[in-house]
Amino acid sequence: QITAPYLHIGAIAIMVLLSWPVALHAIRADKKVVQVIIVGPYLAILLFLFLIPLGMYSPCIREMGTLGPKPALIGHRGAPMLAPENTEMSFQKTIEHGGDGLETDVTISYDGVPFLMHDRTLRRTTNIKEVYPNDTAQNAALFSWDTLQELNAGTWFLKDKPFSCMGSLSRADQNQAMNQSIYKLSNFLRLADSQNKLVIFDLYRPPEKHPYRNSWINRTLEVILNESGIRPHLVLWLENDMRSFVQSVAPGFQQTMGSKARVEDLLMDNIVKLNLAYTEMSSEDIRMYAKANITTNLYVVNEPWLFSLAWCSGAHSVTTNAVHTLKNPTALLPHDTSSVVLFQTPQQYNIMWILTDLTSALLISLIFAL
């Protein structure tokens, strides 16, 4: 949807280059049937390419002034290109670069302390191999909080460099990353509240035989409502289990759904936001839900061109690993489209494809004549 207009130009350019060998072989052919076999398919494809823009659609081809507000940016596990994911440093970096919200993953320790961890085990993002080599395959929720506090959650980041486009960290940032520990949910929420940032998280149910296996949601709510002090409207509540109960004890949460559903069903459950992979939503879906005052958050959006597509499609926010690059992208166009890559008005697009078609037709005709 975002690159189709430019792919069209590229395809036409290839057809111009192919016109020379096609014309040469057609002229050298002895029989008219052979000439038709060579030239016929070529001209059919060329005609198809000339006319294909008539049926082409892109959300970023629109009238000037019709673009909605720029999507808010929610840091995916913080700023994982700048700091170890799900650590205090990672969320601080998101805040420094102007992120509007913080996304994370919550697990509950064996003694009932909710903490931030995406993976089932501690192997990838801590130094458990050095501290407890026999427990590397153990579920993270089966450790006590005292044990979890002993682990380093930052040295892996400097060693493994999880993103190829990370760039180099300053000496101060390297030292800070090396001293990160596993982050408690309560501390995370206090940080978000102090900076007026939205929070959204996946809440993982503890495994079998865990003391909080059946009270995981209650324990998490205790931390949010009683221990953290975060203002309820900052919480985008995503977990679907016991949603009615959660609404009854925390009516201020913004109820968020992780899957598409009928508008009527969403309104019945007081859903105000959808949190979906960008591949699952179209601009038509986004507009349909927006009419019912249900906003859309798309994840995980890292590239400027994909952010542009989300913006043009009407997304309210995106979850990203790259808040630092999407917050202030290079200004490519004037006025309200200054941060949208590849934005065009219908008039600009029509001029582009008509000139491309006419220029290529002239060149191809000259090559055949020559």
Same domain, 134 and 220: yes
**Owning domain of residue 303:** 72-327
Residue 334 lies in a domain: no
Residue 67 lies in a domain: no
What is the Cα–Cα distance from 35 to 220, expressed in whole angstroms? 75
Closest to 154 (Cα-Cα) out of 240, 216, 237, 92: 92
What is the Cα–Cα distance from 275 to 319, expressed in whole angstroms? 9
What is the Cα–Cα distance from 355 to 101, expressed in whole angstroms? 44
60 close to 333: Cβ distance less than 8 angstroms: no
Q: Kindly report the CA angle at 152 between 146 and 157, in degrees rounded to 5? A: 150
At residue 329 the predicted structure's pLDDT band, cuts being 50, 70 and 90, is low
Same domain, 220 and 133: yes
Has residue 226 got a pLDDT over 90?
yes
Q: What is the mean pLDDT of residues 9-17?
A: 95
Residue 358 lies in a domain: yes
Same domain, 124 and 255: yes
Q: How many structural domains are present in the chain?
A: 2
Query: For 254-265, how does the pLDDT look when each residue is reduced to its tens digit (9 = 90+)?
Result: 999 999 999 999
Q: Which of 29-33, 86-90, 288-292 has the least mean pLDDT?
A: 29-33
Residue 321 in tokens: 């690993």
157 close to 177: Cβ distance less than 8 angstroms: yes
At residue 31 the predicted structure's pLDDT band, cuts being 50, 70 and 90, is confident
Has residue 350 got a pLDDT over 70?
yes
pLDDT, position 340: 57
pLDDT, position 337: 45
The one-letter amino acid code at 105 reads: D
Residue 63 lies in a domain: no
pLDDT, position 182: 98
Query: For 201-215, how does the pLDDT look when each residue is reduced to its tens digit (9 = 90+)?
Result: 999 999 999 999 999
Residue 11 lies in a domain: yes
pLDDT, position 237: 98
Same domain, 103 and 9: no
Q: What is the mean pLDDT of residues 33-45?
A: 93
* Mean pLDDT, the chain, integer: 93
Identify the CATH number of the domain in which residue 219 sits.
3.20.20.190
Same domain, 101 and 218: yes
What is the Cα–Cα distance from 327 to 361, expressed in whole angstroms? 42
Higher pLDDT, 336 or 277: 277
pLDDT, position 334: 37
Percent of the chain with pLDDT over 70: 96
The separation between CA 230 and the C-alpha centre of its own chain, rounded to angstroms, equals 25
Higher pLDDT, 28 or 192: 192
pTM score, whole prediction: 0.86
Q: What is the mean pLDDT of residues 92-120?
A: 98
Q: What is the mean pLDDT of residues 235-256?
A: 97
Coil vs helix vs strand at 165: coil
Same domain, 208 and 280: yes
211 close to 108: Cβ distance less than 8 angstroms: no
Query: For 122-173, how does the pLDDT look when each residue is reduced to its tens digit (9 = 90+)?
Result: 999 999 999 999 999 999 999 999 999 999 999 999 999 998 877 788 999 9
What is the Cα–Cα distance from 132 to 265, expressed in whole angstroms? 47
pLDDT, position 331: 36
Higher pLDDT, 304 or 119: 119
What is the Cα–Cα distance from 221 to 295, expressed in whole angstroms? 24
What is the Cα–Cα distance from 105 to 339, expressed in whole angstroms? 30
What is the Cα–Cα distance from 238 to 276, expressed in whole angstroms? 11
pLDDT, position 333: 38
Same domain, 146 and 110: yes
Q: What is the mean pLDDT of residues 264-279?
A: 97
What is the Cα–Cα distance from 64 to 34, expressed in whole angstroms? 50
Has residue 339 got a pLDDT over 60?
no
